[in-house]
């Protein structure tokens, strides 16, 4: 007589149990495999997200660094320009006096060609008396003076001071020069702008001109 386990575990029933267990195992494996795949996919997605975030952060930092570099360069250029302008404005001007009595001081040496006699040129200027009072300025009008150099269209000190000669080097286009003119090279004993007993430029006045030679007209 068979024992109870053997009676329950008949060959047919055992086969069914084996089939059931195999099916269940296969199902469990598929569930596990699907879970593992989801886990791996999630991990990959998270990893990609992290990499994207890292790449974006790096690009943003690089762009910020480039922007900061450009801003810093712009700031340096701006400061450098202002320093150059300030240096030009505050630099002491040591005059060189020529035999004619004209004195000159180059604040900026030009880079272009010099003027030739009879040439039509353009120049900006500010005219001052010895006490520093400004009597005329083309900058205030927003337009340079246009004239023919060396043919007497302007006072003698201007012709000599820009064209050169008698110990004065010619100005080059783009240059800035301060001229100190004795009365004989300016308006002499007559003065200028005289009306009702007063003159804008008094007789026998020594004149100072800040001249910027722009170039030919």
Q: Supply the residues annotated as catalytic.
A: 125, 135-136, 155, 187, 209
CB atoms within 10 A of CB 158: 23
How far apart, in Å, are the Cα atoms of 186 and each of 57, 147, 180?
A: 69, 17, 10
Residue 86 corresponds to which tokens in the numbers above? 């300030």
To which H or E segment does residue 216 belong?
strand 207-216
Burial classification of residue 146, based on how many CB atoms lie within 10 Å of its CB (0-12 exposed, 13-18 middle, 19 or more buried): middle
Residue 116 corresponds to which tokens in the numbers above? 């030739």
């Amino acid at each position: 007589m068979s024992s109870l386990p053997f009676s329950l575990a008949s060959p047919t029933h055992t086969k069914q149990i084996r089939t059931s267990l195999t099916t269940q195992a296969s199902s469990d494996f598929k569930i596990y495999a699907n879970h593992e795949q989801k886990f791996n996919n999630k991990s990959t997605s998270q990893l990609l997200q992290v990499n994207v975030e890292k790449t974006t952060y790096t690009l943003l930092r690089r762009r910020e660094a480039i922007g900061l570099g450009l801003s810093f360069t712009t700031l340096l250029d701006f400061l450098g320009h202002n320093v150059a302008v300030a240096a030009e404005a505050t630099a002491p001007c040591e005059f060189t006096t020529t035999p004619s009595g004209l004195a000159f001081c180059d604040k900026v040496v030009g880079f272009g060609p010099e003027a030739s006699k009879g040439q039509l040129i353009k120049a900006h200027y500010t005219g001052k008396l010895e006490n520093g009072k400004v009597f005329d300025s083309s900058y205030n009008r927003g337009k340079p003076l246009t004239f023919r150099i060396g043919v007497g269209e302007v006072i003698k000190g201007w012709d000599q001071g820009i064209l050169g000669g008698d110990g004065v080097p010619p100005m080059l286009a783009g240059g800035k020069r301060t001229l100190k003119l004795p009365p004989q090279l300016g308006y002499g004993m007559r003065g200028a702008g005289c009306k009702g007993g007063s003159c804008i430029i008094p007789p026998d006045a020594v004149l100072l001109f800040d001249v910027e030679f722009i170039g030919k007209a």
